[in-house]
Amino acid sequence: MSVFLIVGIGNIGPEYVGTRHNIGFDIVDALVQKNGGHFVLERLAAVGVIKWKGSVLVCIKPTTYVNLSGRAVKYWMDKKKIPIGNVLVIADDIALPITKLRLRGAGSDAGHNGLKSIQEAVNTTTYPRLRFGVGNDFPKGHQVDYVLGRWNQSELPLVKLKIEKSVELIESFVTMGIEWTMNQYNKLEITL
């Protein structure tokens, strides 16, 4: 039975709920909820374990804050003996428009501190990641305020739809593999 580590990047605490930077948490919440699981607070993360078509998905929301996400990823990879190719990290991305999702098998951290921390912890840039486009509708110098800000009311219906698509993408990644899933989802323009 294959075991996967699904990592939602975000910050713990009520002040971060519903922010763009916490979209990774929102997606793993939706995945675990859809499959009848629940989260338990364990070492370095809230953990929800679910089964999907013969595979076990260990879904984590690190409690280390975004900038130290790598500590939780490395700990749970080692604890569950999960190979790097079976890890999927979900993060927000200001370089992508809000209508896009992008799955990649490798790449740079693109200035995302959570991805940078993971790259340092696992000592490679070659690990699957799902980038959730949050757009970049902010004035110069206000990137932090933007990513730590909440979605606009007008964006919420599209964000909800993209979270559902992200859950489908994760399920496809687990059953069909990364190449097939990239071909299916990376070209999509997700609109209402």
DSSP per position, the chain: --EEEEEE----SGGGTTBGGGHHHHHHHHHHHHTT---EEETTEEEEEEEETTEEEEEEEESS-GGGHHHHHHHHHHHHT--GGGEEEEEEETTS-TT-EEEESS---TT-HHHHHHHHHHT-S-S-EEEEE----S-TT-HHHHHTSBPPTTTHHHHHHHHHHHHHHHHHHHHH-HHHHHHHHTT-----
Identify the sign of the CA torsion 166, 167, 172, 175: positive
Q: Any catalytic annotation for residue 21?
A: yes
Residue with token string 């607070």: 41
Whole-number Cα distances in Å, 182 to 66, 93, 101, 128, 169: 25, 17, 10, 11, 9
Q: Active site residue: 21, 38, 112, 142, which one?
A: 21
Q: Which residues are catalytic?
A: 21
